[in-house]
Amino acid sequence: MTQVTIDLTGYPEGDSPESRQAFPAHLRSYAKTLRESWRGSGSCAARTLEFIADQAEAQLPKPKPEEPTGLFAVVEDRDGGRWVNWRDPNSSMEHTEPWVEHFGADRNLNYDDIDVVKVLSPGV
């Protein structure tokens, strides 16, 4: 399947996060209008617009998952790296950077500093 990169610099609302969120809905609305107005002849153009809307939605940033708080929770970052939470929620000790890189035990970060895309385990 062909992938289309969406550039909204010429879009009337500009290339802002809000316009990127709204753009696929605008395309689908226009595609629906084409189907209803042009009957059969608008369906090819409508399918093309729906394809572009799908591509635009696929490029939208996904919201960051909630931080799992269980001991030994595992998350995956955008680059495929895995991070393990070694902070015990029942412990009175506070760790300033409780997330450790799975294969880089010398690198600790806060959850907010990791580009998490998926929670692999909520921990225990």
Dump pLDDT digits (tens) for 66-92. 998 888 899 999 888 899 988 766 666
Provide DSSP, 19-79.
HHHHHHHHHHHHHHHHHHHHGGGGHHHHHHHHHHHHHHHHTSPPPPPPPP-STT-EEEETT
What residues have CB less than 8 Å from 111, skipping those under 6 apart?
Answer: 67, 75, 85, 98, 99
pLDDT above 70 (res 4): no
- Own/partner contacts of 33-38, CB < 8 Å, gap of 24 or more, are none
Asked if 55 and 3 count as a contact pair (C-beta separation under 8 A), the reply is yes
What was the pLDDT predicted at 15?
A: 64
Residue 1 has pLDDT above 60, yes or no: no
For residue 52, how far is the Cα from the chain centroid?
Answer: 18
Instruction: Tell me the average pLDDT across 41-58.
Output: 84
Burial 82-110 (b: 16+ CB within 10 A, else e): bbbbbbeeeeeeeeeebbbbeeeeeebee
For 26-38, how does the pLDDT look when each residue is reduced to its tens digit (9 = 90+)?
888 888 888 888 7
* Position 113 pLDDT exceeds 60: yes
Structure-model confidence comparison of residues 84 and 6, the more confident one: 84
**Mean pLDDT, residues 99-124 taken together:** 82
Per the prediction, the chain carries an average pLDDT of 79
pLDDT the model gives residue 76 = 92
- pLDDT for position 9: 62
